[in-house]
Structure 1
Amino acid sequence: MYSLMMTNTSIDFPLWHMGISGYEALVMTTISPFLLGIKPLRSFIVSNQRIAHLLSLAGLLAYLVKDPVYRLFTVGFGVSMGCLSWAATWYSDSVQPTRLEARILAWTIGLLMSSVAKFAWYTNNPIWPIMHAENGGWNATGLFLAILAALRFTRRGPLQGGNTTEKKSGSAVLSAIGIGGLFFGLHSLLSDTSTMILWVWDGYPIRGPVSNVHGWYTIAAMTAGILIGVLRPGLATSWTAYGLGCVGAAYLTLYEQWRGYYGGLTLAAYLMAIAVPLMGNAAKKSPAATFGLGFLVYNFLVLFHVWVVAYAFVPGGPLVREHTDWIMITMMLSIGVGLFDLISQQAKANKKKAGVHRPGNTHHRTYHFGVLGVLNLLFLSANFLRFPTNDYKPYHAKDRLFTAGIWTIHFSLDNDMWSSEYRMRDLIKEMEVDVIGLLESDLQRVIMGNRDTTQLLAEDLGMYVDYGPGPNKHTWGAALLSKFPIVNSTHHLLPSPVGELAPAIHATLDVYGTLVDVFVFHSGQEEDPEDRRLQSEYLSKLMGSTNRPSVLLSYLVTEPLKGNYNTYVSDVSGMHDVDKTDWDRWCEYILFKGLRRTGYARVSRSTITDTELQVAKFVVPNSEEDSKFAWGVPEDVRDRRVEEHEVPEGWRFPAMFRGEGVRGHRYHVFDEPRYYNF
C-alpha cells in the first residue's frame, strides 16, 4: 500500500520532455486530502474507506495502459485516492490510540517492505507501472495481493462514522509542516537502500559502503528507528534526538565515505522513530489541514530537490542551483516545527495531569515486530544471493582486445515509459562491450523512483561499476562499467558558470596488465557556449595529464572537425578521433590515444532511448615496440580502413546486427562496422 501511494510517481513523463510540459501538475495529486475539508465528502470517505482504498489500486492496474500519457493519468488517480484514503483512515482511527498506532506501523513498515522488494529487484519495485512481464514486473501478483491486503485492512468499520467532529488540538499548520518534511525525508532518502550510499560514493579504491553489500545497514537503522518510536516515544520526541537527527543530516550532506554514511544511518533511524508520534499527532487534527497542507509542503520539497539539478530548464531554477544543503535544512526545520507542536501538546496534557495517551492493547506490536524481523531476514537472503561473484571476464582476452562503448540512456526509461534495464543489458552483452560509459544515468530522485540502473547491469554482465558523481553532486549522471579492474577513479564537475553541471569520471583500468585511462564525460547543453568552451579546455588538459593509453567516452555537443572539437582532439589532449570521417555525429564521440583502434560501429537504439550506442574496438599493445608504434603511427596509416575479412575473427563485430538486425537494433549510418589496421 505504501509503495502505491508514495513511489508510483516514478513515472517520469514530464522530465522526458526535458522542460516544462504541463504534466508536472500531476505532482499535486497528493494534496487530495484537502477534499476532506468538505464535511459531507469527509463523512462519506471515512464511512467507506474500503472503497477508497480499493480505488487507490488503480495505480497498480496502470501497467495495462500502453499509452504513457494515459498511464500517467491513471497513476495520478491512484496516488490521489491513496493519499485521500490514508488521511481518512488515520483521522478516523485517531480516537483509539492502539488502532492508530497499528495503522501508522503498517504504513511505515510498508516503506521498509518496499525498500526490501526494490533491493531484490535491483532498485525497481516489481509492481510499479514502469514494470511489466518483459522487464521483471510482477504486476498481476502484486495487484492480487494488494486487493487481499486492502480487504483485510478495512475489514473493521471506522471508529468515526458519518458524524465526524473537528478536533482542536494544537496547531494544524505546524503539524502539517512537520508531516511534509517527514514524508519528504522518508521518500527521498529511505525508499531505496542505495540512495544514501550513493550520496557518499567517491570512486575507487573503495573507501565506503557499497550498495549490494552494505544496503542492510539502512534497513537495520530503519528497523531500530521504528522500535524506538513505538517502545520509547519519549526518547524519539525529545529535542536531543532531534539534534542527533540534524547532525546526521549534516554529516550525510557534507561528508563522503563511511563518515557520511554513518550520518545517513543516524538520520534514517531518527526519521523512522519520529514518524509514529508525529503522524499520530497530525491525525488528531483536521485531516484537510494536516495532510492536505502536509502533502503540499512535501510537493514543494520534491520540486525543490529537482530544481537544484534542473535549474537550466525551470523558472527560477538558478536561485536554488546546487543547494541540496538548503533542502536538508528545510526538511529538518520542517520536522522541527512539527515536533514543537507535538511537544507543546504533550506539555499541556501533562500540565492538566491527563498524561499522554498510551496504547492499551499492544498485541498488534507482536505482529508488526514479527513482520519487521521477517523483512530483515528476506533482505539478508536477497543480499546473500546478490553478493558479488567477482566473475569479470572480457570477451576477447586472447586477442588482448577490448570493446568500449558510450550510451546516453536517458534515465533508463524507454520511449513508451517502461524501465529499460533489461533491454540495455541484452544489447550490451550481445555487442560484447567490455567497457561502457553511461550518461544521464543518475536516477536517485523522487521523480525517477530512486533507482540505480548500474546495479543490474554490473551484476548480470559481470562488470565493475563506478556510479560517478552522486545524487548530491547536482548532475544528470555519468557512470562507468568495466570488465577490467578499476584501479583508481576520480569524479570531476567541470566549469559550468551558466548551464547545467558537466560530470566526468577519470578511471584507470588494469587491462591485460596494462594501465589504461578511461574518461566518461557529459558536456553542457547547446544553449551555453561559454560553458562548453571552458569544459573542453578543462577536459583536454585532464586527458593530456596522463601518458597512459586512454579512451574518451563522451557526449560533447559539437560538430565534427569544428569549434570545441579541435580542443578535445588536439596536441594538448593527445587524443585522436575514432573516425574523423563520420560527419553525422553531434553529441556522442569516442577518442583514443596509445592504443590500436581496430573497429568502430554505430548501433541503432530501437525504442530504448533517444541516442544510439556507439562502440569501438581497441587492441592493447603487448610489448614496448608495439606500444611505441601505437603512440607514433602516422595519421594516414592510423586511419587506413580495411575490409572485414582482412582483420582477425576475434576483432570483428557480432554479425547478428547486420541488415535488419534484431529487436530493432542494427548497424546504421554506415550500414556496417568500419575496420582499421596498421
Structure 2
Amino acid sequence: MPKDKDGTVLVSMSGKWVSHTHTVTAYCGFLGALIVGMSLHFHKIVRNEHYGYPDEWFPSVSATIGDRYPERSLFQLFICLTSGPRFALIFLWFLLTARAGAFAPKFVATVGLIRSLLCGGWVYITSTDDHDYHDIFMISYLVFTLPWTLGCLALSPMNRTAIRYRKLLAGLFFGTLVPLIYFFIQHKVHKVAGAYTIYAFFEWSLILFDVGFDAVTALDFEGFEFRVVDVKGVSKGKNVALSDAVLEKSKMDKKHTPQQFLTETYSWNDMLDALADVYSGFMFWSILTSLGVTIWYFPLWHMGISGYEVLVMATVSPFLLGIGSIRRIVVNHSRYVYLLSLFGLTAFTSKVPETRLFSVAAGVWFTTLAWTGSFFAERAQPGRLEAKVSALSLGLIASSVAKFACRSNNPIWPIMNTANGGWNKTGLVLAVLAVLRSTRKGPVGELPLPPPNKSGSSILPAIGLGGLLFGLHSLLSDSSTMITWVWDGYPVKGPLAVPHGAYALAAMGAGFLIGLLREDLARTWTFYGVGCTAAAIFYRNSGWIGYYGALVLALYLMALVPSFIQSAIKHSPGKTFGLSFLIYNVFVLAHVWVVAYAFVPGGPLLRERTDLVMTVTMLAIGVGIFATTRHGPKSARELRAEDFPSRRRFRSYAVYSLVGLELFAASIAYMRFPSFDYQPYHEGEKVLTAGIWTVHFALDNDMWSSERRMRDVIKELEVDVIGLLESDLQRIIMGNRDMTQFLAEDLGMYADFGPGPNKHTWGAALLSKFPIVNSTHHLLPSPAGELAPAILATLDMYGEMVDVLVFHSGQEEDALDRKLQSEGIAKLMGDSPRPLILLSYLVTKPKQGNYNTYVSEASRMKDIDSSDWDRWCEYILYRGLKRIGYARVSRSTITDTEIQLGKFVIGEPEGTDEIIPESEVPVGYRFPDMFKGQGVRGHKYHVFNEPRYYR
C-alpha cells in the first residue's frame, strides 16, 4: 500500500467523484420517479384541475414526485442518498474559493447550505401533504438558486471549460423561467388545453439544468483528493487553502478583475451601514409619496380647490441651502435634520386629517433638505457619494417592493394603521435606528470641500433632475402603475399586476446596475434616444407591446439617477435642488390638471394632455443629459481609474441589497399568484347578487385607507358582482395605488378596471366571482365636462353568458355631456344580444330627463325598482333576468355614497313587479339578516329599512 509521511493511505479518491455521485443520485431520483409514475399512474399524474389525457400527456414534477406510491418513496430515497454528496460538494467549493478576509465565499457557501435544507423541505413535504408549505419551500429554494448560481459564476476558478458550461447552464436555467411562467399563465389564467404539458417540459428542464450546473464542479474538483490514512497520533499536516495560478498572478497586477469586485474584505458593520442607508432611502420615498395622497383628501371632499394644495411646495426646502449658515447646520448636523424628517412617519398617531397632512408636509420639508445636504457634503468623497445616491435609488425600489407586498399600499403611510394593514410603529422604530446608524460617523461637512462650480448654468441640471424626479415618482413608485396604462380588458392580452409587477421591479434593478457600473453609457444621447422611443411605445400601445416600452423606460429612468445628481451637486445646492423640486412640483400639478380640469383654474389648457406632460418630461430629461455632457464627461477609462477599494466595497453592498430586494419581489409574485378558482356565494340556487358603489378613491371620511372595510361589507353582503366607481388611484395625488388588487385577492374575484389612467377618467372597476369572458372599455361623449368611463363585460354565470355594464356619468353642471352619454350607453345596451345588468352612476331623477333614455325601448332595460323615487346618482337596470330582490345599504364612514344591491336568478325568465314578504322567499334567495335593524359597523338596510323581494 502507498505510504505518506503520516501513515498508510488505505483509500484515495479524486474530488470529482463527489460531483459525479451527486449528479447520478439526483438524476436517478427524478428520472426514476418519472419512469415509475408514467408506468403505473400515467392518467392520474397527467391530470390537473382543468384537463386530463389526451389534452395533457406529460406530468409536472410535483405530481410525479409527491402524489403516488411507490414513485414518491423511490424519489425520496435517492434524494436522501444525494444529501451526503451535496454537503460535501458545498464544502469543497468553499475550500476551492476561500480567500483570506473574503466575504463572498462564505456567503455563497451559506446560501448553498440553506438551499440544500430548503430542498429537503419541498422533497419531504409534498404538495399532497401540505400544498402551502410545499410551495413555500419550493419558491424559497428557487429564490436561493439565484445567489448560488451568480456566486458560483463570480467565484469560479479560471477553468475555461467549467466557466463555459456554467454560463451555458445558468443561461438555460434562467431563460427557461420565461416560457415556464408564460405557459403556467396560459394554463392557470386562460385554461388552455395542453399548456400544462408544455409547462411540465420546461419544469423538468429546470431540474436537468439545475443539477447539471452543480455537476460542472467535477472539472474543478479534479485537483482535490480524498484520502483515508492509517495514522498514529495527531496529524501534523497544515491546512493550506487552494489557490489557482491566475489569481496569484493577479495579486501583482494593478488591474482589477471582476472576481475582486466580490472578494474584497467585508464586514457586517459596513453591511449594516449600507442597509441603514437603503432604509433611509425607503423613508424618503415613503414620506414624499404620502404627501400627494394626504393633500388629495381635502379637494376630494371640497369638490374643488381647498387651499391645502399649497403644501405641495414643501419639497422646495433645499432653496434654504443657498443661505450659508443654514447650509452649515444641515451639513454638520445632518442627524438631527433626518430625525426631524420622521415627522412624516409619526402622522399616523393623529386621527385628525389636518394634523396628519401638516406632519407629512413637515416630513417632506426636512427629508428633501436632509438628502440635498448629504449629497452636497459627500461630493468630496466619490465613494460615499455614490453609496448615498445608490441608497436613494434602492430606496425607490424598496418602496415599490413594499407596495407590491402590501397590494399597492405602503405600510408606513399616514393613511395606514394597525386596523387596515399598516406597519407604522415598526416602520418608525426601524427609521430611527436607520438614521442613528447611517449618521453615526463624523459629519463629513467638517472636511474641506471644493467650492461650488462657478462655471456653467445651474438651471440646466435642475431642469433635468426635476423631470427625472417626476418620471420616477409618477411611473415607478408602484409596480402596477405602468400595467394599468396598458391594460385593455379581457381576454388578457397584456401583463397582470401580479405576477408581472415583478418585471417592472426587475427592470428598475437593471437600470440601477447600469447607472452604478456604466454611468458613462447612461448619459449618452444614444441611450436618450432609446428612452424617448420607449416612452412613445409605452404611451401609444396597449398590451405587451406597450409594456415592453414601459420596461425599457423604467430601466432608462433608473440608470440616469447617479449622473443627474452628480451633475447637480457641481453647483450651489440651493439653486439646483431647490429649482429641481420646484420644477418637479410643476409637473405634479400638470399631472393632476390633465384629469381634474373641470375643478381647477386653467384646467382646460391641459385637459387630457398626458401626451404633452410625457413629452415635456422627456425634453426636460434631455436638457439634463446636455448638462451632464457639457463640461466634458469622464470616459469609461477615467471612471475605472477611480475604482478604488472602498468604492468597490460600497458597490458590492449595493448589489447585494438589490439582489435581496429582487429576490423578495420574485417571492411575492409567486406567493400572490391568483388561483382563479373563484366560486359564487349561492351556486346551488344559481343566484347572482350584483351591486354598485361609489368608493371615493379608497379613502374614508377620516382619511384612512378603506380597502379592508370595503372588503368586509362586500363579503358579508355576499356580493358576486360589483361595480366600483371613482376607483382610479394611479396618480401621484392618489398615491399610485390599485385597490382592486387587495379586494380581488381577499374576496376571490376577477378584476377589471378601465379605461386606464392615461385616458383621464376618475375610474371604473368591476369585481366578479364569475369568469370574465370578454370586456371592452369605453369613453362616452364629453365635449365640456369630465370624461365618463364604462366597462362592458361578458360574464360566464352558471354556464350562461350575461353582460354587465359599469358606468359613471358626468357631473350635473354639464347637461349636454350627460345627454350624449345617456344616448351612448343606451346604444351599448341596446346592441347587446345577451341578458344585461347596468351598474351605474347616472345623475338623474327617476322617470325624468335622461332616465327615460336609459330606460327605454331602444335600450330594452328595466329599472330594478321603478317605485324607488329617492335616487339621484346610483341606479341598477336589468333585462333578460329574473329579479328577486333589491336593497340599499348605508355606507357608514367609508365614503359618501350608499351601496345598492340587486338579486337575480340566472336562467329563469323575467318576473313581475309584485313585492312579496320575506317569509315567501327561499332562504338562499334572501339578503343577509345581519344588516337588519341597527346593522353592523354602521352598515344597515335603509330607505326601505329592509330589502325588497319580488315574485
Judge conservation of contact 2:316–2:579 (CA < 8 Å) in 1.
yes
Q: What is the TM-score normalised by the length of structure 2?
A: 0.69
Which stretch shifts more, 373-382 or 12-21?
A: 12-21
Aligned partner of 1:75 among 360, 372, 382: 360
Counterpart check, 1:475 vs 2:761: yes
Q: Deviations over 1:21-57 (max 9, x none)?
A: 1010010000111111111111111111000001001
CA contact (8 A) 2:888 2:899 kept: yes
Letter in 1 for 2:671: L
User: Structure 2: 5+ residue runs without aligned partners?
Assistant: 1-282
C-alpha offsets along residues 460-485 of structure 1, whole Å, 9 cap, x if unaligned? 11100101211101000000000000
Query: Is the CA contact (8 Å cut-off) linking 2:332 and 2:443 kept in structure 1?
Result: yes
The secondary structure found in structure 1 opposite 2:785 is coil
One-letter amino acid matched to 2:819 = R
What does 1:267-286 align with in structure 2 at a 5 Å threshold? 267-286=553-572
Specify the SS of the correspondent of 2:684.
helix
1:440 aligned onto 2:440: no
Q: Of 8, 13, 24, which residue of structure 1 is paired with 2:297?
A: 13
Matched, 1:516 2:798: no
Supply the AA of the counterpart residue of 1:660: Q
1:383 to 655, 664, 669: 669
Deviations 1:549-574 (A, max 9, x none): 10000000001111000000000100
Deviation, structure 1 residue 354: 8.6
Q: 2:830 aligns with which of 533, 538, 544?
A: 544
**SS of alignment partner, residue 934 of structure 2:** coil
Q: Of residues 477, 481, 497 in structure 2, which corresponds to 1:191?
A: 477
Q: Is this contact kept in 2: 1:93–1:158, CA < 8 A?
A: no
State the partner residue of 1:591.
Answer: 877
Q: C-alpha offsets along residues 281-313 of structure 1, whole Å, 9 cap, x if unaligned?
A: 112211111111000110001110110000000
- Alignment partner, residue 492 of structure 1: 778
Q: How does 1:417-436 map to 2 (within 5 A)?
A: 417-436=703-722
Paired with 2:931 and 2:615, the residues of 1 have a C-alpha distance of 52
Structure 2 distance, partners of 1:239, 1:178, is: 14
Q: What is the match of residue 372 of structure 2?
A: 87
Matches of 2:627 and 2:643 in 1, distance apart?
A: 21
- Equivalent position of 1:531 in the other structure: 817
* Structure 2 Cα separation of the partners of residues 155 and 381 of structure 1: 33
Q: Deviations over 1:354-412 (max 9, x none)?
A: 98984533201111100100111111111111111123110011111110000000100
Q: Which residue of 2 aligns with 1:154?
A: 439
Say if 1:35 and 1:159 are closer, same or farther in 2 by CA, change over 3 A: same
Aligned to 1:126: 411
After superposition, residues 392-403 of structure 1 pair within 5 angstroms as: 392-403=678-689
Kindly indicate whether the alpha-carbon contact (under 8 Å) linking 2:332 and 2:444 is maintained by their aligned counterparts in 1.
no
CA distance in structure 2 between the partners assigned to 1:357 and 1:7 by the alignment: 38
The reply to whether residue 210 of structure 1 matches residue 492 of structure 2 is no
Does residue 64 (structure 1) correspond to residue 346 (structure 2)? The answer is no
Shift of 1:435: 0.1
| Structure 1 residue 2 displacement after superposition | 2.6
The residue number in structure 2 matching 1:39 is 324
Aligned residue-pair number = 662
Q: Tell me the equivalent position of 1:659.
A: 933
Kindly state the Cα deviation for residue 332 of structure 1 after the two structures are TM-superposed. Answer: 0.6
Following superposition, the deviation at residue 169 of structure 1 comes to 4.9
Q: Which residue of 2 aligns with 1:103?
A: 388
After alignment, is 212-221 or 356-365 more displaced?
Answer: 356-365
User: Which residue of the other structure, out of 661, 674, 677, is the alignment partner of 2:948?
Assistant: 674
Work out whether residues 523 and 560 of structure 2, in 8 Å CA contact, stay in contact via their aligned partners in 1. yes
Q: Does the CA contact (< 8 Å) of 2:892 and 2:939 recur in 1? A: yes
Query: Which deviates the most, 6-15 or 135-144?
Result: 6-15
Aligned AA (1:490): T
Of 317, 333, 336, the residue aligned with 2:603 is 317
Counterpart position of 1:367: 653
What percentage of aligned pairs have identical amino acids? 61
Letter in 1 for 2:526: T
Residue 789 of structure 2 corresponds to 503
User: 1:612 maps to what in 2?
Assistant: 898
More contact order relative to length (CA 8 Å, sep ≥ 6): 1
Contact map agreement 1:178 1:337 (CA 8 A) in 2:
yes
Post-superposition offset of 1:95: 1.4
Work out the CA distance in 1 between the residues paired with 2:337 and 2:688: 56
Quick one: which amino acid aligns to residue 914 of structure 2?
R
Alpha-carbon shift at residue 586 of structure 1 (Å): 0.6
Q: Which residue identity is paired with 1:13?
A: Y
Separation in 1 of the partners of 2:830 and 2:880? 12
Question: CA shift at 1:158, angstroms?
Answer: 3.2
- Superposition pairs of residues 622-633 of structure 1, within 5 angstroms: 626=908, 629-630=909-910
Residues 577-635 of structure 1: per-residue CA shift (max 9 Å, x gap): 011111111100000000000000011110000101111100112xxxx4xx42xx6xx
Query: Match of 1:581?
Result: 867
Is the Cα contact below 8 Å between 2:286 and 2:399 reproduced in 1?
Answer: no
Cα distance in structure 1, aligned partners of 2:768 and 2:869? 29
Q: Secondary structure at the match of 2:847?
A: coil
TM-score scaled to structure 1, two decimals? 0.96
Does the C-alpha gap of structure 1 residues 441 and 354 become closer, same or farther in structure 2, counting only changes over 3 Å? closer
Partner Cα separation in structure 1 for residue 570 and residue 640 of structure 2: 13
- Cross-structure match for 2:546: 260
**C-alpha RMSD of the superposition:** 1.4
CA spacing shift, 1:359–1:35, aligned 2, 3 Å: farther
Which segment drifts farther, 9-18 or 53-62?
A: 9-18
Answering whether residue 593 of structure 2 is matched by residue 307 of structure 1, we say: yes
Q: Which amino acid aligns with 1:322?
A: E
> Quick one: distance in 1 between partners of 2:866 and 2:461?
62
